[in-house]
Amino acid sequence: MTPQPGILPPGKLPHDLLAGLLRRHVPHDPCILIGPALGEDATVIDLGHDLSDRLLVAKTDPITFATDEIGWYAVNVNANDVACMGATPRWFLVTLLLPEDSTDSALVERIFDQIGQACTALGISLAGGHTEITYGLNRPIVVGHMLGEVVRDRLVTTGGAQVGDALLLTKGFAVEATAIIAREKAEELADRFSPQFLARCKRFLHDPGISVVRDARAATAAGRVHAMHDPTEGGLATGLWELAWAADVGLEIAASALPLLPETAQLCQAFGLDPLGVIASGALLMAVHPDDVPAIRRALQAEGIAAFEVGRVVEKTAGVTLLTAEGQRPLPRFARDEIARLF
């Protein structure tokens, strides 16, 4: 359905609108070291020198595309954004909104079990939240709130990328989109793909998995990581643009080096979606010192995590470009996540 004139489409707010809102609502508390900003994954708060050198990292993110294993998604996507700041995710709070006409105790228990299992897997404590059955919903919505901590000199931000840095991407793209499409559109795909193929795509939620907590921990321990970012809604392309905006730099991306997962390519082709623009949790985007690329890749490989060098950070005046066999062109932008077209 085409939105009415003036009505915003589903997905993230347009960047110009969001940037204007953030400029009007600047936090004045000096304890907020990293506040709301385009591309930054989480907020960083200094609780005072009497609490040693540790900083509090806070994040909130909803799950709106997925319904299957929604509790697992909520924990992992919020943990990812905390880990992208170089922090350890520790405490999770959740707001669970349930539809009035289709909620039974089995549904509630299933979502809580998913949250509990995901927290246990990452060493996170479920610290509180709110649950209610509410009107106007046709599916559950989970809004997660993750808190973590980081030693001051280990803090990493999306805006820390430096000209000359190499860009690394772990696992491949788009892990999350592959799992969501296979899980939410299984009936429509059944006549085009084998049960074995679809089962493998559904397992992407856990293998290779949408978590980048291990990726971030291994990379930061092995070398100079100047920036990390979790490409989520809007896909890898939006994640790259957000890193560039946050750091006020340009990026040069080699199209041939981008590790598009073959399962993702096939599912996106089935629905006419551009893989660069589909939700992409599961891949960690990093700007690292070029001399440390070999050590970081070895550390990730030791954890069973593939890492690919996909480009470099350049001066802002060079723009954000994609190098292809046909030449150089601007990296595509997506006003909304490609996967939103399926829902």
Question: The domain spanning residue 286 has which CATH number?
Answer: 3.90.650.10
Q: What are phi and psi of 254, to 5 degrees?
A: -90, 110
Q: What's the pLDDT score for residue 3?
A: 52
> Which amino acid is residue 123, in one-letter code?
G
Both 286 and 164 in one domain: the answer is: yes
**Rg (alpha carbons) of the chain, rounded to whole number:** 20
Both 240 and 148 in one domain: the answer is: no
Q: What's the pLDDT score for residue 180?
A: 92
SS3 category, 26: coil
Question: Is residue 1 situated within a structural domain?
Answer: no
Question: Is residue 338 situated within a structural domain?
Answer: yes
Both 307 and 218 in one domain: the answer is: yes
Question: Is residue 36 situated within a structural domain?
Answer: yes
Largest CA distance in the chain: 62
The sign of the dihedral angle between the CA atoms of 315, 316, 322, 327 is negative
Question: Is residue 8 situated within a structural domain?
Answer: no
Residues forming beta bridges with residue 58, ordered by sequence position: 43, 147
pLDDT along the chain (343 residues), means of 10: 68 78 82 78 78 86 82 94 96 95 93 96 96 91 96 92 98 94 92 95 93 96 96 94 95 97 96 96 97 98 97 97 94 90 84
Both 186 and 75 in one domain: the answer is: no
- The reply to whether the predicted model has a pTM over 0.95 is no
DSSP string covering 88-123: EEEEEEEEEEEETTT--HHHHHHHHHHHHHHHHHHT
Both 60 and 148 in one domain: the answer is: yes
> Which amino acid is residue 167, in one-letter code?
L
Question: Is residue 317 situated within a structural domain?
Answer: yes
Q: What's the pLDDT score for residue 18?
A: 80
Distance between CA atoms of residues 328 and 203, nearest Å: 36
Residues forming beta bridges with residue 44, ordered by sequence position: 34, 57
* Angle, vertex CA 172, rays to CA 206 and CA 57, nearest 5: 70
Both 185 and 109 in one domain: the answer is: no
Q: What's the pLDDT score for residue 24?
A: 85
Both 85 and 171 in one domain: the answer is: no
* Angle, vertex CA 149, rays to CA 289 and CA 116, nearest 5: 115
Q: What's the pLDDT score for residue 51?
A: 56
Number of domains in the chain: 2
Domain-terminating residue out of 121, 154, 187: 154
Q: What's the pLDDT score for residue 4?
A: 64
Distance between CA atoms of residues 214 and 218, nearest Å: 6
Instruction: Residue 244: give the domain boundaries.
Output: 158-342
Q: What's the pLDDT score for residue 5?
A: 66
Residues forming beta bridges with residue 252, ordered by sequence position: 312, 321
